[in-house]
Amino acid sequence: MQEYKLFIDGEWIESSNGETFDDFNPATLELIARLHKASEDDVRRAADSAEDAFDAWSSTPAPRRAKILFRAARILEERKEELARLMTTEMGKVLKEARGDVQEAIDITYYAAGEGRRLLGETTPSELPDKFCLTVRRPIGVVGLITPWNFPIAIPAWKIMPALISGNTLVFKPASDTPLLSIELVKILTDAGLPRSVLNLVTGEGSAVGGAIVKNRKIRAVSFTGSLETGKWILGEAARDMKRVSLELGGKNPIIVMDDADMDLAIDGVLWGAFGTTGQRCTAASRVIVHEKILPLFQKRLIEKTELLNIGNGLDENVDIGPVINNTQLQKIARYIEIGKEEGAKLVQGGKIIKPLPGYFIEPALFSDVTPDMRIAQEEIFGPVTSLISACDFDEAIKIANSVEYGLSSSIYTKNITNAFRAIEKIEAGITYINAPTIGSEIHLPFGGVKSTGNGTREAGTTAVEEFTELKTAYFDYSGKLQKAQIDTG
Ligand code: NAP
């Protein structure tokens, strides 16, 4: 079994306290790797090392930084299948989704590399003669990155690549359930020529290692994706040092199915949106709001199709639903299924833990007779559980969609163009899909949510570098005399 160390100051080193933790395959419960658990002192060294590297890296012209990213993207492409298999083994998602996860990392790496020749500022006329006004993007400094387990390479790449092209140096902590893909990503960037100390990797427990990143005063910004609870803690803690924070948190994403929808299309969308990645997506469709006129038939046909989903080890190409990530998550999902029943919802399909399989498997669960105020309709479950909620018309469907604290993704199935555009306007969410499920973002568009899903930043797309740069405004006066703005303007 392989042991993995921390990557600090360009060297793979053991943690200073000698502590380790184990990494398991959630489908078989086999031990697959042992990792070093960083101490507070290790995090301090990682931040010091990133700080030392900052001057040289931020002074390297961005198109030159981009060359390293282009090389990294090509290595990712060459290693795509191997990385996807490693991901399925470590995280459990089925192979075709793991390939998609790696592809997302490839796409964002090329996209961020392209930014090396943009990093656009603006120029604008001055109110005074012989004066020039412009803005330039500057890196922030040392940035801390903390990522979850559900997209083991895509989310790290979404943060690392825009942060690097912008000229920052990094301290990166991946989720303890899926550190291996992050380790491979660091190796790939090193092989691509990333200079020593620009990227430092510390693995280990969230509150200890992640907490030390958030509290370190050399780290000027933290980019975090994970749960609302952790995000709130980070925001509060970072406020003490006026640290810049970007948060991508949970979701309770609705699919609205109107009475004029293409029912087969909507059912396929719900199956993919609710049960893809075993429901472990921040954009998973955990509420399906259906027009009351079509609800009985929709429910019957959805049950029939859910029954056909194959559950098992994601390395088997015929499997649709892999395991959930760990036992804590499995028990949390099982507990929510009990809560749903206690609240009076009807479990009409699935929901049982699958015992003969060694891993963390649970049947996709479908609840009917769910009311919007129930906990299963309000709280993020992060598993293969979805709730059918009845709505009498479009306005009620929108009201139900907006009745939760989150606002990440959303969807409507309808042939009515007016309702489609109204949904874009009215649903409180960062993303709205028309006639497609709540999952499936593309890397060249901004990604993020409203309300408790985040604090307003957007990752990916043209906004990707905003998270990792400061805008500086420059005024260049070549008149050779003192000119006073607002006063000498005639
Ligand atoms: P989590 O428990 O909040 O963990 C996320 C990361 O934070 C992990 O690396 C974790 O380390 C670390 N962490 C835990 N406690 C910390 C602390 N006190 N200080 C600093 N770091 C800490 O979330 P998760 O269960 O891994 O991920 C699932 C959540 O992520 C869901 O709510 C999901 O909706 C959300 N998510 C959101 C998006 C989005 O873009 N909006 C995308 C994907 C997932 P350990 O792994 O060592 O605990």
Provide the pairing of β-strand 123-125 with 469-477: unpaired
- The answer as to whether 365 is a domain residue is yes
Q: What is the pLDDT of residues 92-129, one digit of tens each?
A: 999 999 999 999 999 999 999 999 999 999 999 999 99
Residue nearest to atom 23 of ligand 1 (CA): 226
* 190 within a domain of the structure (yes/no): yes
Token pair in block for residue 489 = 């303007």
Confidence of residue 341 (pLDDT cuts 50, 70, 90): very high
257 in the same domain as 296: yes
**pTM across the whole model:** 0.98
Average pLDDT in the 310-339 region? 98
Number of domains, the chain = 2
Q: How confident is the model at residue 355 (pLDDT cuts 50, 70, 90)?
A: confident
Residues near ligand 1 (Cβ within 6 A): 146-150, 173, 175-177, 205-207, 210-211, 214, 225-227, 230, 233-234, 248-251, 282, 380, 382, 408, 453
Same domain, 359 and 464: no
Residue 443 within a domain: no
In a domain, 490, yes or no: no
- Same domain (yes/no): 336, 382: yes
Closest atom, ligand 1, to C-alpha of 148 = 26
Percent of the chain past pLDDT 70, that is, above it, reads 100
CA of 119 to the centre of ligand 1 (A): 29
Residue 188, domain extent = 2-249+454-474
pLDDT tens by residue, 235-274: 999 999 999 999 999 999 999 999 999 999 999 999 999 9
Distance between CA atoms of residues 448 and 379, nearest Å: 18
Q: Which atom of ligand 1 is nearest to the CA of 174?
A: 9
The pLDDT of residue 489 is above 90? no
Residue 1 has pLDDT above 90, yes or no: no
For residue 472, name the pLDDT band (cuts at 50, 70, 90): very high
The Cα 267–Cα 334 span in angstroms is: 24
| 8 Å CB contact between 384 and 321 | yes
pLDDT tens per residue across span 5-23? 999 999 999 999 999 999 9
Detail the DSSP E strand segments found in 14-162. 20-24, 31-36, 123-125, 131-139, 142-146
For 396-415, what is the mean pLDDT? 98
Banded pLDDT at 356 (limits 50, 70, 90): confident
Q: Is beta strand 131-139 parallel, antiparallel or unpaired with respect to 469-477?
A: antiparallel
b/e burial code for range 355-378 (CB count within 10 A of at least 16 → b): eeeebbbbbbbbbbbbebebebbb
Q: Ligand 1 centre and the CA of 398: distance in Å?
A: 29
Cβ 200 vs Cβ 170: under 8 Å: yes
DSSP string, 102-145: HHHHHHHHHHHHHHTTT----EEE-SSTTEEEEEEEEE-SEEEE
Whether residues 420 and 386 share a domain: the answer is yes
Give distance in angstroms: CA of 131 to centre of ligand 1. 48
Helix, strand, coil percentages, rounded to 5, for the chain: 40, 20, 40
CB within 8 Å of 53: residues ≥ 6 apart: 169, 195, 196, 197, 198
- Assign 301 a pLDDT band (cuts: 50, 70, 90): very high
DSSP one-letter code for 194: P
Pocket test for ligand 1, best of 228, 282, 441 (most atoms within 8 A of CB): 282
Query: Whose alpha carbon is nearest atom 11 of ligand 1?
Result: 206
Whether residue 138 is found in the same domain as residue 67: yes
Does residue 198 sit in the same domain as residue 257? no
241 plus 282 within the same structural domain: no
Beta-bridge partner residues of 223: 145, 246
Q: Whose CA is nearest to atom 15 of ligand 1?
A: 206
Query: Which CATH number do you get for residue 371?
Result: 3.40.309.10
Q: Which among 171, 225, 277 is the best mutation to test ligand 1's pocket, defined by most ligand atoms within 8 Å of the CB?
A: 225
Both structure tokens of 182: 């992050």
3-state secondary structure of 69: helix
Q: Are 450 and 249 in contact (CB under 8 A)?
A: no
By annotation, the residues acting in catalysis are 248, 282
Q: Are residues 122 and 227 in the same domain?
A: yes
Residues 327 and 389 in one domain: yes
Residue 455 pLDDT more than 90? yes
344 and 282 both lie in a single domain: yes
Closest C-alpha among 120, 60, 160, 59 to residue 471:
120
> What is the atom index within ligand 1 of the atom nearest the CA of 229?
3
CA 453 to ligand 1: nearest atom: 41
**Same domain, yes or no, for 226 and 279?**
no
Q: What is the mean pLDDT of residues 289-310?
A: 98
Residue 357 has pLDDT above 80, yes or no: no
What gap in Å lies between CA 91 and CA 314, rounded to an integer? 9
Q: Is residue 483 part of a domain?
A: no
Where helices occur in 240-384 by DSSP H, the ranges are: 263-275, 295-307, 327-342, 375-378
Q: Kindly list the strands in the beta sheet with 199-201, ordered across the sheet, starting from the edge strand earlier in the chain.
A: 11-13, 6-8, 199-201, 169-173, 142-146, 219-225, 244-248
Helix (H) or strand (E) holding 4: strand 2-4
CA-nearest of 274, 292, 291 to 283 is: 274
Q: Does residue 60 lie in a domain region?
A: yes
- What average pLDDT does the segment 63-68 reach? 98
Say if residue 263 is in the same domain as residue 397. Answer: yes
Which spans in 375-416 are helix H? Answer: 375-378, 394-401
Q: Going by CA atoms, what residue is nearest to atom 18 of ligand 1?
A: 207
State the distance from the centre of ligand 1 to the C-alpha of 55, rounded, in angstroms: 31
Q: Which residue's CA is the closest to the ligand 1 atom numbered 42?
A: 282
For residues 420 and 29, what is the distance between their CA atoms, to the nearest angstrom? 45
* Gap from CA of 378 to ligand 1 centroid (Å): 19
Distance 148 CA to ligand 1 centre (A): 4
Give the lowest-confidence range in 33-47, 249-263, 352-366, 413-427: 352-366
Report the atom number in ligand 1 closest to the C-alpha of 226. Answer: 30
CATH number at residue 236: 3.40.605.10
Whether the CB-CB separation of 29 and 358 falls below 8 Å is answered with yes
Burial of 187 (0-12, 13-18, 19+ CB in 10 A): middle
CB atoms under 10 Å from CB of 344, counted, come to 10
State the chain's mean pLDDT as an integer. Answer: 97
Q: Does 140 score more than 90 pLDDT?
A: yes
Tell me, yes or no, whether 481 lies in a domain. no
Domain-embedded: residue 263? yes
What does the block give as tokens for 41?
């002192």
